Chain A
């Protein structure tokens, strides 16, 4: 395996959890809900995936558990912010803190244990083609799920009636409600989808990326995913580009260092966030484009008047 393939594979592994978590949060935010608890749901997914995989010995059941735990955590958020119309920012932040605490409690007995790794795809002949073989036919299964998710979400949001409805709720929940659309039900489903994605992203961390459980192992990746959604101005394809750009920057800087090229690594660590700020400044220049893509109701609770 050549160096180029090796680097590209590492980038794909680094980008996949960011991409999955961000694509889930994109759907949530398109419905007008801002869930800052991505980090918390992700870390719950990571611990759930690891614990169940090591108890059952089957990493695939671990993946399902990761998704289930992400959904469960998100339901707590959904109940508080959608049913009880609690403040979304405060609830999301506390969801992150809760997730970090609860996950370290759940995983205490499992720290330092050898994990079950989800194997890479290995097709005869195809996986052995130089360069494209390992990249297209030889990755871990969650990589393929992440690509399918981007295509699926893109198709759903912009090519289906339900997607149109979801976006309309995000843009004006009062009008949608007046038209008889069940705003709260849509939002519940969107938040649960976001939770499932964050959980899966966490499962990728503890079952593929580094098959082990350590406290706080998401290490801020949930926040990068949140930044990515804004960076992508709520467009799925741009989330894909952004996640791979962030992955490439973080892996590229490691390689640059190993080659002895003097780059200030502290600066590169901050780069994803700097890029988000720059993009925010740029998109705020174009008011029209901003208005088209930003869900107007983002973060505002909706209480239907009956």
Chain B
């Protein structure tokens, strides 16, 4: 018993050396060399200024920008406290909230028909930090953004088109648009 306990202690320390130090060190070195931002979250810049992390969604409220999905992370897109609604499919209170979001969406996008409102755009992700929206949700907002910027709708749609990310190898998974990158592309188009 005692000798087994003593073995356990020494073995645990040996495992600490092997995993918590050696294994971590190998990956850390690899991250420093090969990671996109030497081991930290990858960043997005606009005119040499950092404007966000590429993989972390942000809160957008202005009409000149594309908006992301609703978020339950903190007060919305709080990247230090990720979280979702965890509401079940039959929760009446939650369904009422969705109705509200649909109405709000239609107020801001009066040209949209109710049956074309993308459901993913009024439901929240689990992380609350979803950096993407579906292409459909982006095209739905194009006219509003164009009007707010005083641009033609075609110009905005062209920018959206160039920001649609295809499925992996064109075969696997979903099509999506990174909202932050899309909005940065819009701002770049303004300055040029």
Whether chains A and B associate is no
